[in-house]
Amino acid sequence: QVQLVESGGGSVQAGGSLRLSCVASNDYSHQIGCMAWWRQAPGKEREGVAAVDRTGAREYADSVEDRFTVSRDNAKNTLDLQINSLKPEDSGTYYCAAKSWACNGWSDSSYIRFWGQGTQVTVSS
């Protein structure tokens, strides 16, 4: 079982930046092909934000602006999400997610094999 642990959430004012991080447990990290960030805003469904495969190829949800940058370090089993110019609508719980093999279907929750516990992001206006 892969464990994903997020960090870096917090409360910030609009216009600020946050860098979210996720670390995957080493023992089973070989099971992970694609790592992704999802988020769930209050009262809304969880949605995929961005994903990156082992080659570093990145994908972003259509709703995500250029303010989001996803990156991955395979050697350290880490996944980061840099969010700049934060807006109140970016608030929510951000989850690290992983699936086997490639990132095909990464934004479909039925393909996600592992989930982190989430880290809270609150952006005040």
- What is the rounded CA–CA span in Å between residue 71 and residue 14? 23
Give the per-residue pLDDT at 31. 79
Q: Hey, how many other C-beta atoms are within 10 angstroms of the C-beta on 64?
A: 19
- What is the rounded CA–CA span in Å between residue 19 and residue 34? 19
Tokens linked to 20: 């979210």
Average pLDDT (89-113) is 95
Q: Is 26 left (phi over 0), alpha (psi -120 to 50) or beta?
A: alpha
Q: Is 15 left (phi over 0), alpha (psi -120 to 50) or beta?
A: left
Q: Would the pLDDT of 27 be above 80?
A: no
Give the per-residue pLDDT at 26. 66
Give the percent of the chain with pLDDT over 90. 87
Q: Would the pLDDT of 38 be above 80?
A: yes
Instruction: Report the chain's mean pLDDT, rounded to a whole number.
Output: 94
Nearest to 87 by CA among 59, 67, 62, 60: 67
Give the per-residue pLDDT at 63. 85
Give the per-residue pLDDT at 106. 95
Average pLDDT (93-108) is 94
Average pLDDT (58-84) is 94
List the single range of 11-20, 24-33, 39-48 with lowest mean pLDDT: 24-33
